[in-house]
Amino acid sequence: MSDEIKKNSYSADSIQALEGMEHVRMRPSMYIGDTGVRGLHHLVYEVVDNSIDEALAGHCDTIGVIINEDNSITVEDNGRGIPVDMHKKEGVSALEVVMTKIGAGGKFDKDSYKVSGGLHGVGVSCVNALSDHLRATVYRDGKIYEQEYEKGKSMYPVKQIGETTKRGTMVTFKPDATIFTQTLEYSYDTIAARMRELSFLNKGITITLTDRRHTKENGDFEGEVFHSKEGLKEFVRFLDGNRVPIISHVISMEHEKGEIPVEVALIYNDSYAENIFSYVNNINTHEGGTHLQGFRMGLTRTLKKYADASGLLEKLKFEISGDDFREGLTAIIS
């Protein structure tokens, strides 16, 4: 067939049906944003999000993140452990389904997870697809199970490798150099910033970060432990560390409407800037949304009503606006 005919022929052979994992490898930016520094770090957050979901469901309180010497990442939690029994529909272990199928996960079942972040069934399988090698170890029902994968494909069926008193899931992955061509080096500060943020947003959870690439003078690895007792109140104090507060304490409130828990913390400082951060399911909503609009409207209405009732606005020769009420405000809505 000549090149001209080939160019103009559009037949059934032209239609490609890519399996989920192949599509992730061909178009990674559709799933993780980009294949640069941001995308590389996003892999870590996706695996950690699974552990956070376990914590939000009340089954886990400790998450460990390790940057290994070779820039591979290990994430371990003390949750229930990903199920390893046979998945009736897929005919393989549930662990293999979670790790190798797009759109597989427990967060679609409202009885498993009421609140969950991440890419909703895309996360850890995406990380697997974009990793040169990934090993999943599950501690469940007194036994240790393991399965390894290369570029998203399982190397062998899930096998039992021992017994244990532990429970939880451990995932170790090495990003694929053919996908992440810009860099494979993880930034400790970038990961630490996200882990600190997650500890503030999920009070009571302990997240440890260890960097095995660097050791201190005493021989211990570099690292930090992130744990917040007061959650958003501590977060606000952290954000306003270098500013002068004009009220003595952080105002905070928690409320559940329907099945949606909402938490807000705020303080005023002597600057003129407005500093509001909003989150939904632990994910920073940079573009705002109805939750941010509602907060701004509620704040303006409440303060204006109080000012009117107290006669504070009687001598003002201009109309006070929402912007005026938000000068020097630092707030977080979750």
Does position 17 have pLDDT exceeding 80, yes or no?
no
Other CB atoms within a 10 A radius of the CB of residue 215 amount to: 11
3-class DSSP state for residue 83? coil
- The region of weakest confidence among 23-27, 202-206, 294-298, 319-323 is 319-323
- 51-75 pLDDT, tens digit per residue, is 998 888 889 999 999 999 999 999 9
pLDDT at res. 295: 87
Three-state SS annotation for 124-159 = HHHHHHCEEEEEEEEEECCEEEEEEEECCEECCCCE
What integer is the mean pLDDT of 270-282? 88
Name the token pair of 113: 């997870």
Q: Give CA–CA dist 111/279, Å, rounded.
A: 23
Q: Give CA–CA dist 113/109, Å, rounded.
A: 7
**Residue-range domains of the chain with CATH:** 20-227 (3.30.565.10), 232-333 (3.30.230.10)
DSSP 36: S
Residue among 22, 46, 150, 263 flagged as catalytic: 46
Q: Give CA–CA dist 213/82, Å, rounded.
A: 29
Q: Give CA–CA dist 179/163, Å, rounded.
A: 36
Q: Give CA–CA dist 45/42, Å, rounded.
A: 5
Q: Give CA–CA dist 207/72, Å, rounded.
A: 18
pTM of the model: 0.85
- 78-134 pLDDT, tens digit per residue, is 999 998 888 777 678 888 888 888 755 544 344 444 554 544 446 788 999 999 999
> Half-sphere exposure of residue 282, counting CA atoms within 13 Å on the CB side?
26
| Contact present, 161 and 148 (Cβ < 8 Å) | no
Active site residue 327: no
pLDDT at res. 256: 86
- 181-228 pLDDT, tens digit per residue, is 999 999 999 999 999 999 999 999 999 999 999 888 888 899 999 999
